[in-house]
Amino acid sequence: MKNPHDIILRPVLTEASYDGIANKDYTFEVAVKANKTEIKQAVESIFGVKVERVNTARQIGKVKRMGLHSGRRAEVKKAYVKLTESSKPIEFFEGMAE
C-alpha cells in the first residue's frame, strides 16, 4: 500500500465544506491517481475513523495564455468523505464548524 500521506494531500476548507462537518462530511484534496479504496484506507489510517463512503470529483487544469506562450494549470482531485454514524469526528476539524 502507498503511504497514506501521499494520497491525502490537504483538507479543503471552504464555506461549503464547513457546513458538512456537523454531518461528518469532510472534503480533502487527494492525489490525482488515487482511487476510492485507497482514499478510504488512507483516511481511516491517518485519522483513526470509520468511513462510510467516498465520492470523488476531478477538475482538469485550465489552459492559460500569456502572449504566444500557453500553459496549463495543475489538475485537482477532491474526495468527499462521509463517516459512519458510530465513528468519532476528525479531531483536526473540531471547533471549525461553529
Counted domains in the chain: 1
> Is residue 94 assigned to a domain?
no
Contact 58, 75 (CB under 8 A): yes
According to the model, what pLDDT value does residue 1 have?
58
Q: How far is CA 34 from the centre of its chain?
A: 11
Q: H or E stretch including 7?
A: helix 4-7
Q: For residue 89, is it within any domain?
A: no
Q: Which domain holds residue 11?
A: 4-84
Residue 62 inside a domain? The answer is yes
The CATH number linked to 53 is: 3.30.70.330
The pLDDT value given to residue 94: 79
pLDDT tens series, the chain, 98 aa: 589 999 999 999 999 999 999 999 999 999 999 999 999 999 999 999 999 999 999 999 999 999 999 999 999 999 999 999 999 999 888 777 66
Residue 90 lies in a domain: no
Q: What is the pLDDT of residue 69?
A: 96
pTM for this prediction: 0.88
Contacts (Cβ under 8 Å, ≥6 apart) of 32: 58, 75, 76, 77
